[in-house]
Amino acid sequence: MESTWNSAVKELRPLLAVTVALLFITTVAYPLAVTGIGQAAFNRQANGSIVKVNGVAVGSSLLGQSFASDAYFQGRPSAAGAGYDAASSGGSNLGPTSDKLINGVVDDLETADVDESFAGIAQRVEAFRASNGVADDIALPADSVTASASGLDPHVSPATARLQVARVAAARGVEEAAVRALVDDYTESAVLGFIGQPRVNVLRLNIALDRQFPIGRR
């Protein structure tokens, strides 16, 4: 009996040693190594790609946010929570043939305590054209009236940004050409020249606007 027990212990000892070693590697050593490398080599990215103005955090270059003023470029529509809710990232989950997605839903007045309204693509098209003075015969880029899958996309296409130039320039009292040039300056190329599409980071563009063309300057 004792011999059997000793034999079992002898066989289990390396298994337990490997288990403890792997537990240490995967729960302590590896996380510490990855965190250390991230903080040392990619500090800004590892800490959320926070963007600061005069030492104050104003957002993240990885997360879209709402800009309501006409003096700012506006990002894509968002279906994340009530809009741009980082704690509720997601899309509308509505398919391309959904009547709700296309035409939206009007709030039910009988349930005053619940807002059931939903802006469909038709309403977004109308609102975008009205706020930016875009004629009906000009096709709108898809990203100007549709939400991203995450609801937190920080970028818009250069075409969407350019359609907002007139509104932003008028609100700031500057020439459209100057604002258009700023859009061009902040247009990022496709990664490695072929991955993805050219894009404009809305937060960084708006920060540049405030720096070069402060609101109220005439």
Ordered mean pLDDT values, 10 residues apiece, the chain (218 residues): 71 86 92 87 81 90 93 94 87 87 76 69 95 96 94 96 98 96 96 89 97 79
* pLDDT number for residue 202: 97
The strand pairing partners of 51, in sequence order, are: 59
Please tell me whether residues 12 and 82 are part of one structural domain.
Answer: no
* pLDDT number for residue 10: 77
3-state secondary structure of 31: helix
Please tell me whether residues 57 and 95 are part of one structural domain.
Answer: yes
Q: Report if residue 218 sits inside a domain.
A: no
Please tell me whether residues 108 and 189 are part of one structural domain.
Answer: yes
Please tell me whether residues 111 and 17 are part of one structural domain.
Answer: no
**Rounded to an integer, what distance in angstroms lies between the CA atom of residue 159 and that of residue 36?**
40
Please tell me whether residues 37 and 69 are part of one structural domain.
Answer: no
CA 154 to chain centre: 3
Q: Report if residue 217 sits inside a domain.
A: no
Instruction: Provide the domain count of the chain.
Output: 2
* pLDDT number for residue 115: 60
Provide the residue range defining the domain that includes 31.
2-45
